[in-house]
Amino acid sequence: MLEFAKEEISAFLNKNNIKELLFVPFAQNNFDDYTNKIKGIIDHWGFSVTGLHTYPEPKKAVSSAKAIFIGGGNTFLLLDRLYTHNLVDLIKTRVLDGKLAYIGSSAGTNVATKSIHTTNDMPIIYPPSFEAIGLVPFNINPHYTDKNENEMHKGETRDQRISEYISMPHANPVLGLREGSILHVDGNSLILKGVAGAVLFQKGGKKTEYSVGQNISFLLEEQKSY
Nearer to a second copy, 97 or 170 (CB): 170
Query: Of these residues, 105, 121, 159, 181, which one is catalytic?
Result: 121
143 is catalytic: yes
Task: Select from 149, 157, 115 the least CA-distant residue to 132.
Answer: 115
Q: How far is the CB of 124 from a second copy (least distance, A)?
A: 4
Q: What's the CA gap between 106 and 27, in Å, rounded?
A: 10
* Beta-carbon contacts of residue 194 (< 8 Å; ≥ 6 apart): 4, 5, 8, 180, 181, 182, 212
Query: Of these residues, 80, 105, 106, 181, which one is catalytic?
Result: 106
Nearer to a second copy, 143 or 193 (CB): 143
Nearer to a second copy, 68 or 121 (CB): 121
Q: How far is the CB of 215 from a second copy (least distance, A)?
A: 26
Q: Are 42 and 5 in contact (CB under 8 A)?
A: no
Taking the alpha carbons at both ends of the chain, their separation in whole angstroms is 35
Q: Are 114 and 131 in contact (CB under 8 A)?
A: yes
Residues that bind a second copy (CB under 8 A): 29, 74, 76-77, 106, 116-126, 129-130, 143, 145, 147, 149-150, 152-155, 161-162, 164-165, 167-168, 170-171, 179
Active site residues: 106, 121, 143
